[in-house]
Amino acid sequence: DRRRDSPAAGSPIQPIIKDVGEVYSRLLDHRPVIQGEIRYFVKEFEEKRGLRELRVLENLKHTIFETNERVLPKCEQAMQDNLSETFKKLQAANAMIHRLQEREYEARKLQADKVTAREEKCIAHWEEFMKEQQNKRAEVDEEHRKAMERLKEQYSDMEKELAKYVSF
């Protein structure tokens, strides 16, 4: 009813409005083109591919199921067996390394004790040597003092002898 009542219903503007609507639908309304492309794509996809994807997905589902049910438990069991064996080997290796470290520590301690004993022996020998040197120095000083006294006495005797001859 409204179309009949509209002012452009019988007027010369009506063909212009129709042309504008047609231009709008061709230039700006892309729905029919997109819907046609979608229908074409779906038709091509269904015809060319068929049930291939469905079969691929079924095979994939079967493979995953088999992996989860059979292969994964076998792998877990093998891993557990190997891990326990590997863990035992690692514990044995760790114990061996610990023993080696203890032996090395003891050897180093023994070596350090030997070095300390040698150092103490050298210190004791050095102290003894220094005491000997002091004793020898004291002996040499004593001999020097005695020699000086003898020389003084000798010179004093010689002066007395000279003094006898000087009075002539």
**Residues 61-119: pLDDT tens digits?**
899 898 888 888 888 888 888 888 899 999 999 999 999 999 999 999 999 999 999 99
The pLDDT of residue 1: 44
In contact, 159 and 153? CB cutoff 8 Å? no
Is the confidence at residue 7, as pLDDT, over 60? no
The pLDDT of residue 56: 79
| Cα 54 from Cα 46, distance rounded (Å) | 11
User: Which residues are CB-neighbours of 3 under 8 A, at least 6 positions away?
Assistant: 9
Confidence of residue 20 (pLDDT cuts 50, 70, 90): confident
Is the confidence at residue 164, as pLDDT, over 60? yes
Is the confidence at residue 3, as pLDDT, over 50? no
Largest CA distance in the chain: 189
The pLDDT of residue 97: 95
Tokens of 57: 């997905």
Residue indicated by tokens 């005797």: 157
In contact, 8 and 14? CB cutoff 8 Å? yes
The pLDDT of residue 124: 94
Q: Please, what sign has the CA dihedral across residues 35, 37, 38, 39?
A: positive
Please give the model's pTM, rounded to 2 decimal places.
0.38
Residue indicated by tokens 């003898």: 150
The pLDDT of residue 49: 67
